[in-house]
């Protein structure tokens, strides 16, 4: 099924349907919106027929200056079997020819009361969000000091308990157990909870708790950009864990890589504090402060000085 149709635009932006009602469930497959100025002038060689067509005062005024025969010819080319819809801005009047051609080809013509630029901006943003590639990841998403931290790990490793402790420390829960992730604006990953489990947290031994009811509206967020992955795993005595933090690992989600920290879990470790510090350290790195690299550089300087003294 189509993710977005003209019906969704009518409901979302309170558009007035003028004609072409039979086509309101045509799929909209691209977030790009076209202003067919060249097409009104007769140049259809590269006409993007699968885009929404946005007509403002300039296009409609030019169209009215054409002879009826030429006007019908160009409107026939504008309203194709693949055109998802035509939008008229500023509550401008649609010509009788446009309404007749759109009705015949089942292309919905919709009218908005906003300016052309604002309609284009708002609809592009809406379509990019709705048409973005999505996936679901088993994990917990928490907003820590403005950093969207995705906690992953095997079931029962302590992700939800860590999230609860983080919420008690003043951070905000986005999603528990399942995180719906969409890729927007190229390489931006946005995470949100499934509607059924929004604001809920599962704690073994306690069951389901409502974080917003317990801690207030400031303890939750409806969505958050994901910029860091903290992977929790049971401590393995035979595994060599990174002790300096120079080597950088990544997690791939859809087509985007985000930094990944692997935190070993064993009794006595305060995971909430460790994850909190991981987020703060990541934030410092983005500001150009890398403690591990500075330590490594100082160590190499000491070694080089020692070698020169020896020889």
Q: Fold for 6-131, please state it.
A: 3.40.1390
224 assigned ligand-binding residue: no
Alpha-carbon distances, residue 204 vs 156, 161, 176, 208 (angstroms): 8, 9, 13, 9
159 is catalytic: yes
Q: How far apart are CA 98 and CA 9, in angstroms?
A: 20
∠ Cα 17 100 117 (to 5°): 45
* Domain boundaries of the chain, sorted by first residue: 6-131, 133-295
69 assigned ligand-binding residue: no
Q: How far apart are CA 63 and CA 56, in angstroms?
A: 11
For 149, the enclosing helix (H) or strand (E) is: strand 147-153
> Residue 304: what pLDDT?
66
pLDDT in tens, the chain (311 residues): 447 999 999 999 999 999 999 999 999 999 999 999 999 999 999 999 999 999 999 999 999 999 999 999 999 999 999 999 999 999 999 999 999 999 999 999 999 999 999 999 999 989 988 888 889 999 999 999 999 999 999 988 999 999 999 999 999 999 999 999 988 877 889 999 999 999 999 998 889 999 999 999 999 999 999 999 999 998 887 777 766 666 778 999 888 899 999 998 888 788 999 999 999 988 888 888 766 667 666 766 766 665 566 55
Q: Fold for 133-295, please state it.
A: Rossmann fold (3.40.50)
101 assigned ligand-binding residue: no
Secondary structure letter of residue 66 according to DSSP: S
Coil vs helix vs strand at 87 = strand
Catalytic residue (one of 138, 269, 286, 298): 138
138 is catalytic: yes
Say how many residues make up the chain: 311
Catalytic residue (one of 71, 159, 221, 231): 159
> Residue 292: what pLDDT?
62
> What is the pTM (predicted TM-score) of this model?
0.70
Fold equal for 6-131 and 133-295: no
C-beta neighbour count of 124 within 10 angstroms = 14
7 is catalytic: no
Secondary structure letter of residue 220 according to DSSP: B
């Amino acid at each position: 099924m189509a993710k977005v149709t003209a019906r969704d635009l009518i409901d979302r932006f309170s558009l007035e349907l003028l004609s072409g009602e039979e086509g309101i469930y045509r799929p909209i497959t691209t977030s790009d919106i076209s202003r067919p100025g060249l097409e009104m002038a007769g140049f259809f060689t590269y006409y993007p027929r699968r885009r929404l067509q946005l007509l403002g005062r300039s296009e409609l005024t030019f169209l009215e200056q054409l002879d009826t025969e030429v006007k019908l010819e160009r409107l026939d080319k504008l309203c194709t079997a693949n055109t998802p819809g035509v939008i008229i801005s500023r509550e401008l009047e649609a010509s009788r020819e446009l309404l007749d051609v759109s009705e015949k080809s089942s292309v919905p013509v919709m009218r908005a009361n906003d300016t052309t630029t604002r309609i284009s901006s708002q609809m592009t943003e809406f379509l990019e969000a709705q048409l973005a590639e999505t996936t679901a990841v088993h994990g917990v998403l928490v907003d820590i000091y403005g950093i969207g931290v995705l906690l992953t790990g095997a079931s029962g490793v302590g992700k939800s308990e860590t999230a609860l402790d983080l919420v008690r420390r003043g951070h905000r829960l986005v999603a528990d157990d399942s995180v719906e992730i969409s890729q927007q604006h190229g390489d931006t990953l946005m995470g949100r909870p499934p509607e059924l489990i929004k604001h809920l947290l599962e704690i073994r031994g306690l069951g389901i708790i409502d974080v917003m009811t317990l801690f207030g509206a400031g303890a939750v967020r409806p969505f958050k950009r994901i910029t860091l992955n903290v992977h929790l795993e049971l401590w393995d005595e035979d595994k060599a864990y990174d002790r300096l933090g120079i080597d950088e690992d990544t997690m791939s989600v859809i087509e985007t890589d985000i930094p990944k920290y692997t935190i070993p879990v064993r009794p006595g470790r305060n995971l909430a504090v460790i994850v909190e510090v991981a987020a703060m350290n990541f934030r410092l790195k983005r500001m150009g402060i890398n403690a591990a690299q500075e330590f490594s550089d100082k160590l190499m300087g000491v070694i080089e000085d020692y070698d020169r003294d020896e020889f």
